[in-house]
Structure 1
């Protein structure tokens, strides 16, 4: 019975086509053929049907074998391609084979056709089988990886010497790393670190599964269950090891808490027994603290009782003398103590800043770490606090806090009965002590304020002196470098030019810093004496812009300066400084491709009052501040940069206050990379205050910022 053979025949001669099909039939096949003569017909045929083989003439009026080969390659189909031609030479045939043809033969020698077809069909079948096998292997690998990645335990596959060759996703997440960081490392070093040579369970090479219970590792916290299984080849040769590591910390903790519960019950019984005794309150309190140490392994403990609204130390255990003195009376204004006095426990893993400074210092000297405070409460009334502490850092469990709260509640009942009378006798003495302490505190505050004023004056004097001393060498360096870059005519290598440019930019930034420090020093010392004269702000802005020519030469910004050029009375030097700071910020925070606009206009008092909601946060009581002036000269500097969050707009005029991180937007790779000193806008505010003017910022229409300067212009100034 003949076998169907689906043939795509590329042939322009019907006679030759019939000849080929007849030869194929003689070979025992039943050809199912489609004949094409053009590229379009071939593309349509490949898209519409599946074929076993492609037979092609080499050269036809509208098509060729090389063109057909390209179309077959582009289709991505793996179909044997045999050239059958009467005019192809050896060189062309070899080139066709190189391009991807599987065989070629002459029309005069069709005896080779059937063997060639059978060979290529067989090889195509083998290629498909290999692809299917490869796909099956890849699918199996993906399924296997999906399975181990879904496991919540840590899974590592290692070679026999412990080198990690594969791990699951949970392992990567657990160590907060990536796959490549773990692969190739020794598993013992991952879990034991520098202690890998000591008690390393991963050195074991078991012949069968081996399990290790409740293991700890130097590099990790908690407890682990480890199972190690050999990984063998089909010949039973040991190829590696499979390690399954389960974190059992939580179950271990639950087991430990179960053991603790018996101890807690014993503690409650012992406390209840002693509270039923008729001994005095002081004896009961000291005896209770001793029991807490004995049964609950508490290292330090104290009891404070409220007396005249103060918490006073009444009993203690294990405390140093200096610590006892520091907590003799607890300041109930601290947040955690307010929480306890409201009836809620407070706990901390370590001695921290929640403690007053003197208490924290003595606690550290004593070795105190974790601490917990619970209220001594009768009903809803808090009469004091019970504080316990340990030398080790620990997290107090809810169970432990509940136990301490129960003990404190029982203790409170008895203490209340014994201390009422004693507390009344001590009230007068404590009142006198508290008054003296208040006087001492006020005196210390007054002395501290005096010292702060002296230090501030000294700081301003130093900044002024240092700035004056630095300006001369900075100016010399800046002038020299600028001359070399702009006017010397020296032929520099690119490296030399980069070095001098970097020096120029660095010295410019240093000069800006010195100028800012000097300006802020003069502003704080109220040393500004304005030399007002009639100024035209538009030419002044263009003059300032020229100073940015060198760094701007490497930026792609559009800078537009337009508007009213009415003269205004102002100090030229300080006006330049204010405008320069705003223009520098606008350029700095505008990315390449953006635009900076400077616009000037005359603004009346009524227009400003219509913006009162915007200006009020910057100048509370704006209406009163505008009294006496009816006309202002307004200068707006608008950028298309990163903008300022609304909640930070008022604060940007504070000293040393900065917005965001310029390294994270596009202008952060330019000469304006420096975030600045945080003084520029504070200086602008000081200059405008000295002019009895105003400065504020608002959002730009395109997402950037607008900084506005307002100079009094009533009456209008005239040119001199």
Structure 2
């Protein structure tokens, strides 16, 4: 049976000066069922021509010829760096010489007195040659891939160097920003305070002698100075929450809310605001930033309340399993963990649904300054704080029917500042189970 490794019509170059021996060899291979074409040569010149023009798949060579021999023929193969199996067929080579030639690289040898193993050795030789070609192709591909990898690594090195350069530039920019913050909080506010003081003195002592136009102008200066000071303070707040001071700690939202209410107590009593707080739980957050978040949302609700209608502010929180959270189909939610959901709702003037995303843009205002004071930075700070917690905030506004802010924060155990990544810990989330939450109201 012919081996599957022998392809159809293989080309055999036969180096033999004895025509009878060459015919015998061809008849044996034909009888064995081998599909082949052959070319018989007997000199060096015809052998080299056969290599170039016949392009053999395998060479069968007599050991000794009058003007040429197998050793010389094999040397030609090696000099040309050809990967062609070379089998010596001889009755006089001797086993010692055969072993020596095989060590030199000759594929195999067969005795002229016994052709029984020839077909098997041809099959094996062709198989080995095919495997060698595949191996060399694989090595060549590997060299190309290695070269490409070296180029890629070099490019990566350039990119890393560029990133390090930009990191240094960013560090310097942050230093300049801190210097600007210092100037904003001291050098800019100091002359502004003096302006406000002198305006207050003029309003107390000079108003009676002023014309109506002068009084109106003085009042407008006073409003502009107050707004400028508020803008500086809000910008300071925004820059503070943009820094990398991410120190997480277990915090009780009830205490944070009470603290903020105490700070806004005058406005709360003036507007007769009512608070409903449900299901609060200790959570792992950046405490001072979350206090700023609650303050901004609460003051926003009090500011944009409907005249003559007491503001009603509802704050509640629940834990959402990851499966429940995924059902919400919210954008930008790569964390595969449970989420803490904080809802902040009021019954104020609200806004049209088309502005649900615009309200988080810094300096974005939906109302005239004359109607509602503000700088348009408060909700931008809220969004930045939520992003610092790797969370999501969604606004759901309705014109003249209030607004609901839904905040989703991943339940985390630790925060890695270097990688900016959260480590999820579902078993110890740091939150009280929902069944243990107590609802209560505060007025």
TM-score w.r.t. structure 1 length?
0.29
Asked which structure has the greater RCO (Cα within 8 Å, sep 6+), the reply is: 2
TM-score w.r.t. structure 2 length?
0.43
